[in-house]
Structure 1
Amino acid sequence: MCELFAMSSRVPATLGFSLERLARHGGAEGPHRDGWGLAFYEDTDCLLLREPRPASESPLMQFMERQGLRTKLGLCHIRLATFGGLALRNTQPFARELGGRMHVFAHNGDMPSLADLRSRYPARFMPLGDSDSERAFCGLLTALAPVWDDEPGTVPDLAVRLAVIADYAREIRPLGPANFIYADSDALFVHADRRTQPDGQLRAPGIYFLQRYCWRTAPELHDAGVNLMSIRQDVALVASVPLTDELWEPLGEGDLIALRDGLCYGADGLQVEPEQAAGRQPLPL
């Protein structure tokens, strides 16, 4: 199965060390040799980099590890192909425009019967490739389009978007593992499901979550691959498997959260208080 990683932060940060650790799984220390992709947001647009080759062998990935852009919202995917050949069109994350913003999506899991849902959606969002993940993205955008079209030029309420995403996630979960990360430039949405575990069993957790905050640049965050330039910083990270020795919190099957500016919001759209957020810890100063 593929692996996911994403970050949301209060002020722009780099992801060098986290990317380096994830890239090892893309061929050097793991089987995910079939492609990789990065998305770095800047306001409503994003820089999307993808290659249908092992991340651990990519000079471009190595350059991004050393010279990566600062961003408040970034997503990464490394691929172990199950549906669709090794080609750029099947390499995640996928991106589309909706509501004058770039929307980015990456999925971990197998949903072989997803093609059966394709006829239920109009042709506004069509897949370029033949992966189940891209079809899942097209279906999600089709479900979200009415709320973005309702008031052009404005961002729909977070709770409204979460409700649509939750309904869609419930629809596709019976088709197979549906771990996905999705961003619309305003927020990062994380849906956790099941994942094949080291013992070969398919069960939760499918995604882990870590939330940190500090009042000045701290070596603990630097060791986690996040370099700061701010007095106050909030950082939220999600990954298919923990990338550091810190206390990553496993998300349960069917859990849905939103991350914005490094803060966590529950499925009701309300901010989760710092002491209640899964995996959130103060950094020792």
Structure 2
Amino acid sequence: MCELFAMSSRVPATLGFSLERLARHGGAEGPHRDGWGLAFYEGGDCLLLREPRPASESPLMQFMERQGLRTKLGLCHIRLATFGALALRNTQPFARELGGTMHVFAHNGDIPTLADQRRSGPARFMPVGDSDSELGFCGLMTALAPIWDEAAGAIPDLATRLAVIADYAQELRALGPANFIYSDSDALFVHADRRTQPDGHLRAPGLYLLQRYCWRTAPELHDAGVNLTSIRQDVALVASVPLTDELWEPLGEGDLIALKDGLCFGADGRQVEPEEAAGREPLPLTH
């Protein structure tokens, strides 16, 4: 199975350390040699980088580890191909435009029966490749399109978006493992399901969550005439497997959360405090 990683933060941050850890799984320390992709958001648009080659052997990935862009919202995927040819068109994350903003999606799991649902006639969202994951993304976009169309250029209410995603995720889970990360530029949506564990059995957890906050000085703002001596940084990380020795929280089968500005929101759209999300007191981040 593939591996997923995503970050949501209050102020822009880089992903170098996490990308380096993840890239090792993409060929050097793991079997995920069939491609990788990164999406870095800036407002409603995103920079999307993808290659159908091992992340651990990619000069581009190594460059991003060292000189990675600062962003408040980033997604990453490393691929172990189980459905669809080893090609750029099947390399995640996938992206589509809806409501004047870029939507990005990455999936971990096997849902080959989605291929049977490929539309034969015209459709608003069509796959470019032949992977089950892209078909799942097109289905999600089709489900979300009505609420974005009704919003007429605005961003639909978070609870409304969560409700649509929850209904669609339930349909996917009935067809196979459906861990996915999805962003509409405003929020990052995380749906956890089952995953093939090291012992070979398919079970939860399929994703892990780590929430942290810290205070740091901001001397770079002094030159701009802003007398801000410290700012709070909230960060939420999601990964298929923990990337550090910290206590990552395993997400349960069918759990759905939204991350925005480093904060966590439950399926009802209400904010979940870090203590509740992690079951313990937040610890400081290192910079």
Q: Tell me the TM-score range normalised by the shorter chain.
A: over 0.9
What is the TM-score of this pair, normalised by structure 1?
0.93
Structure 1 residues 284 and 141: CA distance shift in structure 2, 3 A: closer
Secondary structure (helix, strand or coil) at the match of 1:162 reads helix
User: Cα distance, 1:175 vs. partner?
Assistant: 0.9
Alignment of 1:109-258 (within 5 A): 109-119=109-119, 123-216=123-216, 231-258=231-258
Q: Which runs of 5+ in 1 are unaligned?
A: 218-228
> Quick one: higher RCO (CA 8 Å, sep 6+), 1 or 2?
1
Structure 2 letter corresponding to 1:136: G
Structure 1 letter corresponding to 2:215: W
Answer yes or no: is 1:36 the counterpart of 2:36. Answer: yes
Structure 2 letter corresponding to 1:148: W
Q: Which residue in the other structure is 1:270 paired with?
A: 270
Q: Which residue in the other structure is 1:99 paired with?
A: 99
Q: Which residue in the other structure is 1:221 paired with?
A: none
Given that 1:110 and 1:177 are in contact with CA atoms closer than 8 Å, whether structure 2 keeps it comes out as yes
Q: C-alpha offsets along residues 161-216 of structure 1, whole Å, 9 cap, x if unaligned?
A: 00000000001101110000000000000000000001100000000000000112
Instruction: Please identify the structure whose Cα radius of gyration is greater.
Output: 2
Q: What CA RMSD, in Å, does the superposition of the two structures yield over aligned residues?
A: 1.6
Given that 1:39 and 1:46 are in contact with CA atoms closer than 8 Å, whether structure 2 keeps it comes out as yes
Q: Which residue in the other structure is 2:224 paired with?
A: none
What is the TM-score of this pair, normalised by structure 2?
0.92
Structure 1 residues 63 and 103: CA distance shift in structure 2, 3 A: same
**CA–CA distance in structure 2, aligned partners of residues 105 and 52 of structure 1:** 17
**CA–CA distance in structure 2, aligned partners of residues 36 and 2 of structure 1:** 10
User: Cα distance, 1:152 vs. partner?
Assistant: 1.3
Q: C-alpha offsets along residues 212-244 of structure 1, whole Å, 9 cap, x if unaligned?
A: 001127xxxxxxxxxxx9621000000000000
Q: C-alpha offsets along residues 99-141 of structure 1, whole Å, 9 cap, x if unaligned?
A: 0000000000000101223349961000000000000000000
User: Cα distance, 1:81 vs. partner?
Assistant: 0.3
Structure 1 residues 181 and 115: CA distance shift in structure 2, 3 A: same
**CA–CA distance in structure 2, aligned partners of residues 282 and 214 of structure 1:** 9
Answer yes or no: is 1:73 the counterpart of 2:77. Answer: no
Q: Percent identity?
A: 88
**CA–CA distance in structure 2, aligned partners of residues 104 and 121 of structure 1:** 24
Secondary structure (helix, strand or coil) at the match of 2:169 reads helix
Given that 2:211 and 2:235 are in contact with CA atoms closer than 8 Å, whether structure 1 keeps it comes out as yes
